[in-house]
Amino acid sequence: MRKIGMQEIEDIALGAALLGAGGGGDPYVGKLIAHGAIKECGEVTLLSVDEVPDDAFVVPIAMMGAPTVLAEKAIGGEEYKRLRDMVSQFYNREIFAFMPIEAGGVNSMLPFAAAARLGTPLVDADGMGRAFPELQMVTFTMAGVSATPMALTDEKGNSVIFRTITNKWTEEMARSVTMSCGGAVSVSLYCTDGRIVRQYGVRDIITRSEGLGRAIRTVRQGAGTPEENFLAAAEGIKLFRGKIADVQREVRGAFNFGKVILEGIGEYKGHAAYAEFQNENLLAAVDGAILATTPDLICIVDSETFTPVPTDALKYGKRVLMLGLKCFEAWRSPAGLELVGPRYFGCDTDYIPVEERAKGGVL
């Protein structure tokens, strides 16, 4: 158990934005929401999964929809209390703690805002170890845990509780309501017991995010070059360095779809790369050869500061470094690849771990 204050939030937001693999929303927006809550209501108590009793009721808090929408349609402030009341009344159980469902710029921060404003602890675990675009794409689905009953509310006060026959149906139905509510809503789903979180959750995700953020913030203080220090801290595999030559982006079905094209710079001059995304980066290729796919993390960062660049912040002319990170091991299982492998997203390739695909590189 420890307290999370303003400086910790800075580092967690930065590190979680990297683990978001381009998705999860703008870390600046999420950080502002968490900062405001902590400044007004006090620090958040962070619990390790081993401090959560087996029968404790743990409730994830998240935003659903297109991250670009949230930048213009902010959280109203009453959503957390509304979600808490809906879930508590439906289950007739007192909430022991909140938890994030994924790592990402916004969805790593909203649980902190909820925890601060409602005086509820937060568990150091999530259901992805990164960010994915659809609700069923969590480790709890592989464990047979239902996403529903799921509570959903928007900033205007519209709210609904879903009961669905599969987690994929939860995604389909909640996505439709999200579109009707303007493309972004707040949700609680996969409400479960401490025993399930401990057995199937991705442990210490907040602590890992904080460490990554601290490493990015102090990247020039290490013994090696800033790039070497960053790649070592992130345990990242360098895929490409280039300038953004084009960004193709559209919002479709409450998702951000698109492709970013890079022209090589430095040692990559004369080469070209691209990444395709659906909220999160799904596939990275250099000179037409695929070097990384989901569920491994494909991350794009500023080439000088190593600050993560979400897909909704990709802009022409920006100089970036593209790297790959190994995903949580459970995603590499047959059940995991069925949920989040490249073929699920329409990529015409089988999954090969990034450390194998990228062995040769382009140089």
Q: What CATH number should be reported for the domain holding residue 147?
A: 3.40.1610.10
57 and 187 in a single domain? The answer is yes
Picking from 205, 225, 252, the residue at the C-terminal end of a domain is 205
Judge whether 40 lies within some domain.
yes
Query: Tens-digit pLDDT profile for the chain (363 aa)?
Result: 999 999 999 999 999 999 999 987 777 888 988 999 999 999 999 999 999 999 999 999 998 876 666 666 667 678 999 999 999 999 999 999 999 999 987 899 999 999 999 999 999 999 999 999 999 999 999 999 999 999 999 999 999 999 999 999 999 999 999 989 988 899 999 999 999 999 999 999 999 999 999 999 999 997 889 999 999 999 999 999 999 999 998 877 767 899 999 999 999 999 999 999 998 999 999 999 999 999 999 999 999 999 999 988 899 999 999 999 999 999 999 999 999 999 999 999 999 999 999 886 655
3-state DSSP helix/strand/coil % of the chain, to nearest 5 = 35, 25, 35
Is residue 173 domain-shared with residue 243, that is, in the same domain?
no
Cα–Cα distances in Å, from 3 out to 60, 167, 222?
19, 34, 27
44 and 166 in a single domain? The answer is: yes
Decide if 264 is inside a domain.
yes
Q: Are residues 166 and 295 in the same domain?
A: no
pLDDT digits (tens, 9 = 90+) for 78-125: 899 999 999 999 999 999 999 999 998 789 999 999 999 999 999 999
- Residues 201 and 239 grouped into a single domain: no
Which residue segment(s) compose the domain that 323 sits in?
Answer: 235-357
Domains contained in the chain, number = 2
Kindly state whether residues 158 and 261 are assigned to the same domain: no
Nearest to 182 by CA among 148, 162, 164, 157: 157
Q: Are residues 49 and 187 in the same domain?
A: yes
Residue 218 lies in a domain: no
Query: What pTM value is reported for the model?
Result: 0.92
Say yes or no: 84 and 177 in one domain.
yes
| pLDDT (tens digit per residue) in 216-267 | 999 999 788 999 999 999 999 999 999 999 999 887 776 789 999 999 999 9
Residue 190's SS3 state is coil
The strand pairing partners of 234, in sequence order, are none
221 within some domain: no
Is there a contact between 249 and 257 (Cβ–Cβ < 8 Å)?
A: yes
Q: Could you tell me what percent of the chain has a pLDDT over 90?
A: 82
